[in-house]
Amino acid sequence: MKPTLEHIELDAEISSFIYFHTYQHYFGFNMHYHEEMELTFIGNGGGKRFVGDSIDSYESTDLVLIGSNIPHTWYVEKAPNINREVVCIQFKKNFMGDLFLKLPENRSIYKILDEAKGGISFNGNDINEIGELLVGMNEQDPMGRMYSLFIILKKLSDLKSKKELCSKYYIPSSGIKSGNRIDKIFNYLHENFSQQDVNQKVASSLINLSESAFCHFFKKVTGSTFISYLNELRISYACKLLIESDDTIVTIAFKCGFNNLSNFNRRFLKLKSCTPKVFRAQTNR
């Protein structure tokens, strides 16, 4: 199912962001994306969360910050006996102004917004306190909500227990800068990962390093080996095709640069903890 673009109507005369608080018995599968970042809190009831190419189950509370233009949805089958409390805030990354976020006092907030470009889920006891603040915004006026959101973002930036959701296909940069050399490698990988002849020898020659020196350099910059990064990139693209296209699994495997189906299935299972068939079934609502 191809994600749909959602246009969010914001009344700039009233507020610089969207806030809504509601109760729902179930969540239909509605993969969508929008320019705005999104902070979503689900106060009770378990379900499945889809963000980019990640699929996760949650048991009760769920707190997630999602970056701009990342496809996402929550899915829960109808359960009349459970009324799930939901708070959602949608805002532009610079809704407080570019200069405001770049003040040294706000460095931690700027950082968490940047880290969330591929989605972050938060864990731990502190999310209950943040959830109460989010629910409490329902009783506040626009200025009070602005202040509360600022406090919430500061609290999120302090949380240590968090998980990045999207893989590197949705976040082309590793977040670690190493000048033009690593940019050349990323460009080579992201432009050619679907080709079966992508290899470390060619990549190392792009930056004039021996293969052994290249291995050390790439691992130091990305925290991953060249082959591991390439496989993750390919599997991430496979997830995108499984969600958005009707191509057969065999076709997708070859489109992603794998030369046989068994290797594709084995790599997919290792990275996603399920088979491509199961992954597609989970998103085919």
Same domain, yes or no, for 265 and 211? yes
Three-state SS string over 79-132 comes to: CCCCCEEEEEEEECCCCCCHHHHCCHHHHHHHHHHHHHHHCEEECCCHHHHHHH
Alpha-carbon gap, residue 89 to 134, rounded angstroms = 9
Same domain, yes or no, for 129 and 224? no
Query: What is the pLDDT at residue 203?
Result: 94
Same domain, yes or no, for 266 and 189? yes
241-252 burial, b for 16+ CB within 10 Å, e for fewer? Answer: bbbeeeeebeeb
Same domain, yes or no, for 63 and 160? yes
Same domain, yes or no, for 15 and 130? yes
- What's 260's domain CATH number? 1.10.10.60
Last residue within a domain, chosen from 164, 196, 219: 164
pLDDT beneath 50: ranges in the chain: 171-178
Query: What is the pLDDT at residue 173?
Result: 34
In a domain, 174, yes or no: no
Contact 226/218 with Cβ under 8 angstroms?
Answer: yes
Same domain, yes or no, for 188 and 159? no
Query: What is the pLDDT at residue 88?
Result: 97
In a domain, 33, yes or no: yes
Which residues span the domain enclosing 240? 179-283
Same domain, yes or no, for 190 and 152? no
User: Could you give the 3-state DSSP secondary structure of residue 278?
Assistant: helix
- Write the CA distances from 280 to 27, 101, 120, 185, 245, integer angstroms: 18, 39, 23, 31, 10
- What's 74's domain CATH number? 2.60.120.10
In a domain, 256, yes or no: yes
Last residue within a domain, chosen from 164, 192, 208: 164
In a domain, 173, yes or no: no
Same domain, yes or no, for 25 and 143? yes
The pLDDT tens digits for 166-217 are 876 554 333 444 456 877 888 788 889 999 999 999 999 999 999 999 999 9
Query: What is the pLDDT at residue 178?
Result: 46
Same domain, yes or no, for 186 and 88? no
Last residue within a domain, chosen from 106, 132, 164: 164
Determine the longest span between alpha carbons in the chain, in angstroms: 64
Same domain, yes or no, for 142 and 202? no
Alpha-carbon gap, residue 128 to 108, rounded angstroms = 21
Query: What is the pLDDT at residue 47?
Result: 85
Same domain, yes or no, for 22 and 52? yes
> Phi/psi class of residue 57: alpha, beta or left (left: φ > 0; alpha: ψ in -120 to 50)?
beta
Angle among Cα 246, 234, 271 to the nearest 5 degrees reads 100
In a domain, 170, yes or no: no
65, β-bridge pairs: 39, 120
Query: What is the pLDDT at residue 175?
Result: 42
Residue type at 22?
T
In a domain, 169, yes or no: no
Angle among Cα 241, 242, 247 to the nearest 5 degrees reads 75
3-18 burial, b for 16+ CB within 10 Å, e for fewer? Answer: beeeeeeeeeeebbbb
Same domain, yes or no, for 142 and 213? no
Domain count, the chain: 2
In a domain, 172, yes or no: no
Q: What is the pTM of this model?
A: 0.69
